[in-house]
Structure 1
Amino acid sequence: MRISIKACAIALLFLPPFSQASAADIIVPQGLGGTWVAQDINGGAVIDTLRTTLEIRPDGSYGGNGGCNTYRGNLKVEEGGAITFAPAAATRKMCAPAIMDQEQKFFDALGTVKSWRLENGFLHLADKDGGHALRLSASPDGTDIVIHLPQTLSVARETVNYVCDDGQKLSVEYINAMPISLAVLAIGENTVIASNVLSASGAKYTGGQYEWWTKGEEATLYDLTRGENAPGVVCRRPS
């Protein structure tokens, strides 16, 4: 079995297999493929701390993270900029109401898309009347790390966004394949892969110079280079 960790992608996935037969003959135009991040939906702003992604793959499938749930489906691309996203299969997690609201708006908008264009580095997706549905920016490419496990295990992946007391915003992907438990932290321009270690309460992860200790809706980030007794930075999930 393999666990694939992608530095710029994040989610919890329990989806049934789906056929890619309808996508087999799709040729994704140059510039359309890759991972995109929603910047506005139907002309409205998105939550700053929430990362809603759309990955368009060379095989004609698409997927990503709606902000709470991961999803995947097939798309149809035609000449002249016409494009259609077939209904997607998605996980069924529940998150905060504001997150669920944005995710539903994203899925609804994706279902109305009939055309696409690239402009100033942004991907613009429009409905049948040419009205604005989604505007997305390109996401930096990530690097895959593959871990081979000796037996078949179920893998749970979840991404949580935090706002910290020092003003920084952290995106953390939790990957659990018992007995392996990892936290992938995006700290500034760096990605830290931390492994779960024994703790008296909550869940503690260590990686490189950092220690990440979660308790309920809060977590504390410690920079071990500052000394053993240095206070950490408290981070919280947006309400």
Structure 2
Amino acid sequence: MQVRISIVAVIAALLMVSPATAEGVRYVCADNTELTATFHSDPGFADLVFAGSSEHLTLPQALSADGGRYASGNTEFWIKGNDATLTRGDSRTTCKH
């Protein structure tokens, strides 16, 4: 009986925990673009906020064999470790955080 009550208490506590707040990751790119990327799961997407401008992009997570890839139309943000590649149209730059 004691074990059953403990299990119920643990489950109840887990259900009351709110989801973790996503934290932004700052990237500096080779073309001097600076941005903060905030990654979200369920569903997966990334919010990109560009420093010094009002530009803000929300990119859904895309299939990737390696790293994290977020893309929409001709815009893509692909991360692997501390490195990222930002592609907008025909322009591509590498970024580090």
Instruction: Compute the TM-score of the two structures, normalised by the length of structure 2.
Output: 0.70
Counterpart in the other structure of 2:76: 211
**Match runs of 1:44-59 below 5 Å:** none
Bigger share in helix: 2
Confirm whether residue 167 of structure 1 aligns to residue 35 of structure 2. no
Q: Distance in 2 between matches of 1:208 and 1:190?
A: 16
Structure 2 residue runs of 5 or longer lacking an equivalent are: 1-15
2:44 aligned partner, one-letter code: S
Choose the corresponding residue for 1:189, options 39, 54, 65: 54
Tell me, yes or no, if the aligned pair for 1:213 and 1:220 is still in contact at 8 Å. Answer: yes
CA distance in 2: counterparts of 1:215 and 1:234, whole angstroms: 11
1:176 aligns with 2:41: yes
**Alpha carbons 1:158, 1:175 under 8 Å: kept:** no
Counterparts of 1:171 and 1:199 in 2: how far apart (Å)? Answer: 21
Tell me the CA shift for residue 155 of structure 1. Answer: 5.3
Task: Name the CA distance, whole Å, in 1 between partners of 2:21 and 2:62.
Answer: 18
Q: Which runs of 5+ in 1 are unaligned?
A: 1-15, 18-152
**1:214 counterpart SS class:** strand
2:95 matched to which residue of 1?
235
User: Which one-letter code corresponds to 1:176 in the other structure?
Assistant: S
Amino acid at match of 1:186: V
Task: Give % identity.
Answer: 29
Q: CA deviation at 1:189?
A: 2.3
Q: CA deviation at 1:167?
A: 1.1
Shift of 1:173: 1.0
CA root-mean-square deviation: 2.3
Q: Which runs of 4+ in 1 moved over 2 A?
A: 153-156
Amino acid at match of 1:233: T
TM-score, normalised via structure 1 length: 0.31
Q: Where do 1:23-172 residues align within 5 Å?
A: 154=19, 157-172=22-37
Rounded to whole Å, the distance in 2 between the matches of 1:189 and 1:209 is 19
Measure, in 1, the Cα distance between the counterparts of 2:83 and 2:47.
Answer: 16
Supply the AA of the counterpart residue of 1:235.
Answer: C
- The residue number in structure 1 matching 2:13 is none
Q: Distance in 2 between matches of 1:200 and 1:208?
A: 19
Query: Secondary structure of 2:22's partner?
Result: strand
